[in-house]
Structure formats: C-alpha cells, structure tokens
Amino acid sequence: MNPNQALWEKGDFTRIAASMRESGEALVRALGITSGLKVLDLGCGDGTTALPAARLGADVLGVDIASNLVEAGNNRARAEGLANCRFQQGDATNLSELPDGAFDLVISIFGAMFAPRPFDVAKEMVRVTRPGGRIVMGNWIPNDPTLVAQILKISAAYSPPPPDGFISPMTWGVESNVIERFTGAGVPKDQISFARHSYTFDFPAAPSALVAEFRRYYGPTMNAFEAAEKNGRAAELEKELDALFERQNQSTRKDQTSIPATYLRITLTV
Ligand SMILES: C[S@@+](CC[C@H](N)C(=O)[O-])C[C@H]1O[C@@H](n2cnc3c(N)ncnc32)[C@H](O)[C@@H]1O
C-alpha cells in the first residue's frame, strides 16, 4: 500500500478533526464562497472545510488518500443532507481522474502538504483550477513555536530518520519553497500571496486528554510512540507532549483545552 495512505488510514483523524471544526468554518467564511462555486478540497479529511463550503452553497468535491476519511466525509455530508458535497479517494500527486480547469477554487488545509513530490502536487493543483480561479492552501510552518510544528518536532526526535530523499511536509510552510513550486507550475510570482493565521484546537477535556487522542488516533504521533516504545522512551515522549499542550493551552477551565496554532495561508490566482 502507498505509505502515505497507510499513515493516514492507520489512525482515525476524525477524532482530531473534531477539535478543529470552528476554525475550519471561520476560514471558509473568509473565502467569499458563493452559491454554485465549484470547489475542490484536497486532502480534505472528513470535511472540516468541505462541509462548511457546501453549506454556503458551493458544489464541493473532497479528495483524500485515506479511504476511512472519505467514508467519514460522505457520512457527515449525508447526515446533513448536503447533496452538493461528495468525497472520493485520490492522491494529490496525481489527480488524473479530474479534468483540467474543473474548479473555481481549490483549497487544501493541512492536506496536500502531507503528500510526497511537492512539485507534482503544485502542478496538479494548478491544472485542475480554471484560468482565473483561486487556490488557497493552509500549511504548518517549520520551527514555529506553536502547537503543530512543535508536536512534529518533538515526535521527530523519537522517530527513526526518514528515508533518503524524503521531503518534509513542513517545507510547504516556507514561502520560497511555495513560490518555487507554484512558479514551476506556471503561476507568476506576483499572483501568489502569503498571510499568517491561527487555527484553534478546542477539546472538551484537559490538555493531557488531548495528547492521549493524538497518541491513539493521529498517524504521525502513533508512529512516534511506536518508535519510542521500542527504545523504552514512550513515557519521556508523553511527558514532553503533556508539557507542550499544557503550556500552550489558553483555556482557564480545567475541563477544557483551547490551543491556537499559527499557519501560513497561501492564496494564488491561476
Ligand atoms: C492533517 S489532515 C487534514 C485534513 C483536513 N484538511 C482537515 O483540515 O481536517 C491531512 C490529510 O491529508 C490527507 N493526505 C495525505 N496525503 C495525501 C495525498 N497524497 N493525497 C490526498 N490526501 C492526502 C490525509 O489522508 C489527511 O486526511
């Protein structure tokens, strides 16, 4: 099986996505979505941004490599009666099942950044966007002091080194890399803009319980714990993550966690 697919099917990202719904809705509200707009949500998970876009009247296709998340997305859309929102399996590095110029707006929020071969990903995103259409990407930023970059940094210290030639997903959070990838796909540099925004993880229990969710359900953290267990370092990893989540938590209630994380939002016109 494609290792990327195996990583995301290993856990159950719906459990983490449940803490990200409000920020997903806020982001989508800021995109000026109008009725009938054709939207592709790439690396859509179970629809944190796809469903809000469909609620605003867009005609939404969610594409994700993980079959469990595609099924979860379709179930959520069905439960809400959103006939204008469907999900299918696909790989951001090769969207050959989708025609050129099919979408007015392509969004990928912490999605396509996790695919390998970033130049292929940029090319495919541009290819399926109609001329004059938009691409909006949200990417975590390497070495950023906020939550997700720190989780990935801590986890990496407990994991075996990646295979030769591996390109870190976090390189999508560096403006020069993004420019190189999208200009390589034919988009002029002056049509690419950057802004920093915040996404908040809201969880109805203490920060250590959110760490436990990541340990049980988030593929990259599951892998870090598996590697740490082999070296007898799982308790150390847990302690580091507990301290991180505790430090970043902004909720004043003991039974509530609220952690904002900074990301790079990229907007480009094709
Ligand atoms: C961190 S989750 C984000 C999901 C969703 N965008 C959200 O905001 O909740 C990353 C998603 O990217 C998907 N993904 C990873 N590699 C992919 C690829 N090559 N093609 C399509 N989706 C991919 C994963 O399956 C997962 O659903």
| Atom number of ligand 1 nearest to Cα 91 | 20
Residue whose CA is at the smallest distance from ligand 1 atom 10: 111
* 147 CA distance to ligand 1 middle (Å): 18
Rounded to an integer, the average pLDDT of 124-143 is 97
Task: Encode pLDDT of 87-96 as tens digits.
Answer: 999 999 999 9
Task: Encode pLDDT of 180-189 as tens digits.
Answer: 999 999 999 9
pLDDT-derived band of residue 58, with 50, 70 and 90 as boundaries? very high
Predicted pLDDT at 110: 98
Question: Using an 8 Å Cβ cutoff, are 244 and 214 in contact?
Answer: no
* 252 CA distance to ligand 1 middle (Å): 31
The pick from 7, 44, 64, 125 for probing ligand 1's pocket by mutation, whose C-beta has the most ligand atoms within 8 angstroms, reads 64
Question: Using an 8 Å Cβ cutoff, are 213 and 201 in contact?
Answer: no
Q: Phi/psi at 124 (nearest 5 deg)?
A: -70, -40
- Tell me the three state secondary structure of residue 64: strand
Predicted pLDDT at 192: 98
* 248 CA distance to ligand 1 middle (Å): 24
Predicted pLDDT at 1: 78
* 139 CA distance to ligand 1 middle (Å): 11
Question: Using a 6 Å CB cutoff, which residues line ligand 1?
Answer: 4, 8, 13, 17, 20, 24, 43-45, 48-49, 64-66, 69, 91-93, 109-111, 114-115
| Atom number of ligand 1 nearest to Cα 41 | 6
H helices present in 109-260, as ranges:
118-128, 147-156, 175-184, 207-217, 219-230, 234-248
CA-CA-CA-CA torsion for 70, 90, 117, 108, nearest 10 degrees? -50
Rounded to an integer, the average pLDDT of 51-67 is 98
Rounded to an integer, the average pLDDT of 26-53 is 97
Task: Encode pLDDT of 169-220 as tens digits.
Answer: 999 999 999 999 999 999 999 999 999 999 999 999 999 999 999 999 999 9
Task: Encode pLDDT of 238-265 as tens digits.
Answer: 999 999 999 999 999 989 999 999 999 9
DSSP 8-state secondary structure symbol assigned to residue 162 = P
Predicted pLDDT at 262: 98
Q: To which residue do tokens 């090769």 refer? A: 94
The pick from 69, 91, 114, 139 for probing ligand 1's pocket by mutation, whose C-beta has the most ligand atoms within 8 angstroms, reads 114
Please name the residues in contact with 121: beta carbons below 8 A apart, sequence gap of 6 or more: 92, 93, 112, 115, 181
Residue whose CA is at the smallest distance from ligand 1 atom 26: 45
Residue whose CA is at the smallest distance from ligand 1 atom 19: 115
And the tokens for 50?
């796809």
Predicted pLDDT at 3: 87
* 176 CA distance to ligand 1 middle (Å): 23
pLDDT-derived band of residue 125, with 50, 70 and 90 as boundaries? very high
